[in-house]
A and B are shown apart, each in its own frame.
Chain A
């Protein structure tokens, strides 16, 4: 498997997992990006980044009070110190024997499994499989910034799908979301508001 490695798994559960990465690895992952965790042969878990969290500690809090932080100190804290960036990922589905399932994975990834950013081809493959079944995982947890997350995801996926010649994907996705949220007026309005920014 190839791709851009964004970090390794810190902790996981059936519905999602947390990835740790060094600050200097942080240029690759972004909010709403689709990621993939290869487990055993032919079995990959897919998820969406819903949170990027940077921890502080006593030294960082102290350095904030200095008038000037030299470049060497900045790099020391970003490259040498053991303060990982935590990336929260929502599980959306999995791939088994070349078949995509928009179901929660049978078992979650394990500690230190490597997490990769999905390529445009992989985004097309995952989001184009089935009938947007993964949307229900996205919409389940209202504690997360679901509308913003959906908007970020739709923007990335639309771009990948359009590049692959699937111009109709975005409209189909919006129709599906409207159908799911038809009984949730506020949720629908929030989503359409966010989608209007795309």
Chain B
């Protein structure tokens, strides 16, 4: 049955009214936080002290940490060197399913390497990994979760970038889509820690090879700066009772705060550190930092968040190159700026449904050859897979 559009239509008045009310509330909060950015622009020690104290009192605190740059800073995009290397990686996966005939998991990662100024076509590298059969199952007998597969894919993307870190034309920048910080599902502590250790090791070697690295977040919904400024408003008692789920500035995201500051295409914001439970594991040269970058067009700003390790954040020359590379790469996509190479890596990495079915057929054939029994597809899946188009009488 199709969606009952009459039901939807009836709801639209209420729905729109709620949206308007919410946006109006947020706009008031937004103005408050915007004023705070100006007020605290140079009070960085005070903010650091407040965030440090909050981190002691508030479990799993998540907020921005000021560095040495004023909060309302806008840095113009510097010129690029004549030649440089850009590497972009992206991955996709076939998640294991208990409804399928056989449980398997594939992680497919593509890296596109372009030497700007060379006049040569970029080189494309694809790595397809069928996870060990044993790795698909957890010690408790369950199947590896989609979140854990995504984590392994993130690690594979970084490993694939590192594998291409020889013979680079410097400066060299590598990037992936999404944060540099990893996300952990609460129930998967052991697997996460193991993956994170390897991830940090890869980032560390990437640093040794002098290959800059970043995570690119398009349309970020983060409110890390707003969270920091909210903490600055709290006294000691309020800080002790602070609940991250009931915040005063909820709904105000950083993009809205900075859109008036980063007005020129190519402008970047101040660099901030990240306070979070997982960010603590990224110490020293790998300490997580971020900045916002306007990759938009004149009169049409488009702010993205860029996550970088500490060794890049500290070096203004490297930071400038990275800023220029991102602005140039995004401008290649014209009216909807997004780094060209990231999109190309996505194009190369994506696994189609047809390919997924083909891999399953290959595994089933291999099992058949070896006399390994194969399960039936679940009946639920069988019925879902039935063709939805009616067969026409051809007589």
Which residues of A line the B interface, CB within 8 A? 59, 62-73, 75-76, 78-81
Contact = CB atoms under 8 A, between A and B. Distances in A.
Interface string B321-334: 00000000001111
A72 B118 contact: yes
A107 B108 CA distance: 41
B116 A62 contact: no
Given A63-B333, A75-B122, 14 more contacts: A63-B332, A63-B334, A65-B334, A65-B336, A66-B331, A67-B331, A68-B331, A70-B116, A72-B118, A72-B122, A75-B121, A76-B121, A79-B121, A81-B347
Contacts of A64: 334
Contacts of B115: 72
What 9 A-B pairs come out closest when comparing CB atoms?
A65-B334, A75-B121, A66-B334, A65-B335, A79-B121, A71-B119, A76-B122, A76-B121, A72-B114
Contact of A62 (B112, B120, B124, B336): B336
B340 interface: yes
Nearest to B86: A72
Contacts of A72: 114-116, 118-122
B381 to A, nearest CB: 30
A79 B344 CA distance: 13
A81 B341 CA distance: 13
B332 A66 contact: yes
Interface centre among B119, B332, B343 (most CB of A within 10 A): B332
Contacts of B335: 62, 65
Interface string B102-116: 000000000010111
A59 to B, nearest CB: 7
Contacts of A76: 112, 114, 121-122, 344
Contacts of A65: 333-336
B121 A80 contact: yes
A67 B297 CA distance: 11
Nearest to B344: A76
Nearest to A66: B334
Interface size class on chain B is 20 to 34
Contacts of A70: 116, 332
22 contacts: A59-B343, A63-B334, A64-B334, A65-B336, A66-B331, A66-B333, A66-B334, A68-B331, A68-B332, A69-B332, A71-B119, A72-B114, A72-B115, A72-B119, A72-B121, A73-B332, A75-B119, A76-B112, A76-B114, A79-B121, A80-B121, A80-B122
A63 B336 CA distance: 9
Contacts of A81: 347
Given A80-B121, A80-B124, A73 B331 contact: no
A contact face: mostly helix, strand, loop, or mixed: helix
A63 B124 CA distance: 19
A70 B116 CA distance: 8
Contacts of B122: 72, 75-76, 80
Interface string B16-35: 00000000000000000000
Contacts of A78: 121
Contacts of B112: 76
A180 B57 CA distance: 96
A81 B333 CA distance: 16
Contacts of A66: 331-334
A62 B187 CA distance: 42
Nearest to B118: A72
Nearest to B338: A62
Nearest to B124: A80
A81 to B, nearest CB: 8
A70 B115 CA distance: 11
A66 B119 CA distance: 18
A62 B347 contact: no
A161 B343 CA distance: 51
B347 A59 contact: yes
A73 B341 CA distance: 9
A73 B121 CA distance: 7
A60 to B, nearest CB: 11
Contacts of B343: 59
A66 B124 CA distance: 23
Contacts of A71: 119
A75 B119 CA distance: 8
Contacts of B332: 63, 66, 68-70, 73
Contacts of B333: 62-63, 65-66
A73 to B, nearest CB: 6
Contacts of A59: 343, 347
B11 to A, nearest CB: 33
Interface string B71-111: 00000000000000000000000000000000000000000
B163 to A, nearest CB: 19
B77 to A, nearest CB: 15
Interface in B259-286: none
A66 B332 CA distance: 6
A9 to B, nearest CB: 21
Contacts of A62: 333-336
A53 to B, nearest CB: 22
Interface centre among B121, B336, B344 (most CB of A within 10 A): B121
A35 B193 CA distance: 62
Contact of A73 (B118, B124, B340, B347): B340
Contacts of B120: 72, 75
